[in-house]
């Protein structure tokens, strides 16, 4: 008999993950959410709705969290009427991008209450969430990850056991550091190109298909070239949050991380300018505008390949 699953966080990623759990036969309860559409759609498909985190815990054996970050996780778990207030054993899978230090502390505190928390952050996008082909970086004891694996497989194509609790969230931050670093480099390179009269089309004609091409580059440039705002749906305010977590981790470990600081400051500037809700590729427009150039409608055609 399949374990009962509770789900908190029915945003772009979470609603698709929850739909996959239902479609693959997992008994599912969901927590009431500000956006009723996702809740109503899942209830119509067979899920039940809980009125509080405590009620969700009482109806579940395993609870999946897919929220913004550590403050939200802490509130859902330990806040008034939170999951821990149910006073029962649970396995909590934190799919959020959380601060590893908070994750480790929280897991240690919960262990004495019979609650196991492991970190299971996600790689890829809402498109892969809908297809059930996300990547999961799982940090926790071998037996706990093994118990979680069939549940995670409902929405993941790859599940990588990264090590002890906290290691999944650390790996997720490193993964996001690489992608946000690419975003910062693309944005600065495009700005410098524009200063020299090199259009985004020319830039792309050189990079695309070469050694520096990759799927992340292609999604980023779907916005740069075609103004498709949905090509890479990750808000710059969340990029700043993740890079701030990375800075906290680096500080705690005594590491010098000048590249991470530079990337974080780029997103901090964008958020300070009121662009936090815009998706990450829009950083290219922010960097261009700060330097008095535009990447839009520059008019030059890409040169023919020779």
CATH number of 170-290: 1.10.1040.10
- The whole-angstrom separation of Cα 252 and Cα 190 is 34
* 3-class DSSP string for 228-269: CCCCCCCEHHHHHHHHHHHHHHHHHHCCCCHHHHHHHHHHHH
What are the residues facing 63 on neighbouring strands? Answer: 6, 92
Give me the tens of pLDDT residue by residue for the chain, a chain 306 residues long. 899 999 999 998 999 999 999 999 999 999 987 778 999 999 999 999 999 999 999 999 999 999 999 999 999 999 999 999 999 999 999 999 999 999 999 999 999 999 999 999 999 988 899 999 999 999 999 999 999 999 999 999 999 999 999 999 999 999 999 999 999 999 999 999 999 999 999 999 999 999 999 999 999 999 999 999 988 899 999 999 999 999 999 999 999 999 999 999 999 999 999 999 999 999 999 999 999 999 997 543 433 343
Tell me where in the chain the CATH 1.10.1040.10 domain(s) lie: 170-290
- Cβ count near 135 (within 10 Å): 16
Please give the biggest Cα pair distance in the chain: 69
Contact 246, 240 (CB under 8 A): no
- What is the torsional sign of CA 295, 296, 299, 304? positive
State residue 33's pLDDT score: 73
- The whole-angstrom separation of Cα 74 and Cα 64 is 14
Element (H, E) at 62: strand 62-65
The third-level CATH classification (topology) of the domain covering 5-164 is: Rossmann fold (3.40.50)
- What is the torsional sign of CA 13, 145, 28, 106? negative
User: Helix, strand, or coil here: 304?
Assistant: coil
Active site residue 2: no
Catalytic residue among 2, 24, 88, 172: 172
Which residues 6+ apart lie within 8 Å of 261 measured at CB?
A: 247
Q: Which of 71, 66, 72 is nearest to 30 (CA)?
A: 66
Tell me where in the chain the CATH 3.40.50.720 domain(s) lie: 5-164
State residue 87's pLDDT score: 95
């Amino acid at each position: 008999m399949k374990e009962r699953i509770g789900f908190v966080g029915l945003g772009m990623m979470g609603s698709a993950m929850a739909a996959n759990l239902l479609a693959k036969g997992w008994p599912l309860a969901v927590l009431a959410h500000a956006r009723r559409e996702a809740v109503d759609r899942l209830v119509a498909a067979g899920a039940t709705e809980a009125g509080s985190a405590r009620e969700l815990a009482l109806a579940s054996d395993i609870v999946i969290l897919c929220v913004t970050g550590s403050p939200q996780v802490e509130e859902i778990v330990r806040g008034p009427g939170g999951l821990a207030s149910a006073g029962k054993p649970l396995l909590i899978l934190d799919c959020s991008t959380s601060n590893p230090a908070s994750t480790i502390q929280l897991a240690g505190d919960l262990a004495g209450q019979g609650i196991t928390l492991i970190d299971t952050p996600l790689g890829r996008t809402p498109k892969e969430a809908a297809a059930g082909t996300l990547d999961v970086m799982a940090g926790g004891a071998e037996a706990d990850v093994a118990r979680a694996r069939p549940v995670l497989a409902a929405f993941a194509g790859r599940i990588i056991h990264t090590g002890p609790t906290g290691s999944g969230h650390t790996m997720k931050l490193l993964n996001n550091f690489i992608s946000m670093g690419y975003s910062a480099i693309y944005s600065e390179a495009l700005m410098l190109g524009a200063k020299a009269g090199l259009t985004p089309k020319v830039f792309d004609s050189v990079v695309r298909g070469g050694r520096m091409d990759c799927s992340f580059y292609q999604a980023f440039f779907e916005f740069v070239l075609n103004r498709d705002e949905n090509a890479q749906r990750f808000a710059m305010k969340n990029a700043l949050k993740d890079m701030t977590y990375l800075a906290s981790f680096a500080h705690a470990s005594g590491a010098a991380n000048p590249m991470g600081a530079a990337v974080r400051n780029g997103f901090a500037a964008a958020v300070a300018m009121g662009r936090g809700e815009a998706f990450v590729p829009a950083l290219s427009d922010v960097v261009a505008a700060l330097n008095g150039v535009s990447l839009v409608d520059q008019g030059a055609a890409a040169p023919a390949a020779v």
